[in-house]
Amino acid sequence: MSREDEIDDRGFKRDLLASLPNLRAFAVSLTGRHDKADDLVQDTIMKAWANQSSFTAGTNMRAWLFTILRNEFYSQMRKRGREVQDSDGLFSERFSVHPEQYGRLDLQDFRKALDKLPDDQREAIVLVGAAGFAYEEAAAICGCAVGTIKSRVSRARTRLQELLGVSGESDYGPDAGDAAITSRAFGS
């Protein structure tokens, strides 16, 4: 092994590690639960490792990993068949696994609402609104047109507003001042 190869290997692992928290959050968003998400991340790591040679150094590793994870997710879903639509009972089971991880009650409500979106809308709004991808990158990850992503994000927003009963004011009355602080603190 040449010295250059060794440096490349270390770079690959380092970049992979750096992307993991974000990748894992995407997996939790897709699967709706931590245990399944972690299995999915594990499969993704193994696929990515085995296909290191197909990754072009200097390109966007995060987008590459997200694409692998997404493909893996849908191929596993196809194999298993679509799981039974969530009932309220299943929800409470799912969200009682790590209730503390969702903090405030309204964040759990948000999780439930997010889970009710169609898969294509959920992944679109998560990629663009939380994972930090541009519309173009999200389109490449999902293998669809940029316009498709835009309309999915827009439909997802509308649906989430309906599900959460957000009317624009009063719902967030006392907390409204926190919005700017939160978005600064979490600045994306």
Partner 1 sequence: MSDDEDRKKDEMTTIPHNELRPGAVPPNASISRKLREFYNAVQEEGIPDRFLELLERLEQAEKNAKSVNAK
Tokens representing 167 are 């009317």
Of positions 86, 110, 120, 148, contacts partner 1 by CB under 8 A: 110
CB burial readout 42-76, b (16+ within 10 A) else e: ebbbeebeeeeeebeeeebbbbbbbbbbbebbeee
Q: Choose between 93 and 162: whose C-beta lies nearer to partner 1.
A: 162
Q: Choose between 33 and 84: whose C-beta lies nearer to partner 1.
A: 33
Regarding 144 and contact with partner 1 (CB under 8 A), the answer is no
Which one of 68-76, 81-89, 108-116, 137-145 is the stretch in contact with partner 1 (CB under 8 A)?
108-116
Smallest distance from partner 1 to CB 81, Å: 27
Token look-up 């979106």 returns: 117
> d(Cα 114, Cα 112) in Å, to the nearest integer?
5
Question: Which element (helix H / strand E) includes 6?
Answer: helix 3-31
Which residues within the stretch 67-106 sit at the binding site for partner 1 (CB under 8 A)?
A: 101-103, 106
Token look-up 């001042």 returns: 177
Instruction: For residue 94, count other CB atoms closer than 10 A to its CB.
Output: 19
Regarding 24 and contact with partner 1 (CB under 8 A), the answer is yes
Regarding 182 and contact with partner 1 (CB under 8 A), the answer is yes
**Integer CA distances (angstroms), 156 to 21, 36, 120, 153, in order:** 24, 23, 9, 5
Which one of 37-45, 56-64, 78-86, 143-151 is the stretch in contact with partner 1 (CB under 8 A)?
37-45
Site residues, partner 1 (CB under 8 A): 1, 9, 13, 16-17, 20-22, 24-25, 28-29, 38, 41-42, 45-46, 49, 101-103, 106-107, 110-111, 114, 125-126, 129-131, 157, 160-161, 164, 166-174, 176-177, 179-180, 182-183, 186, 188
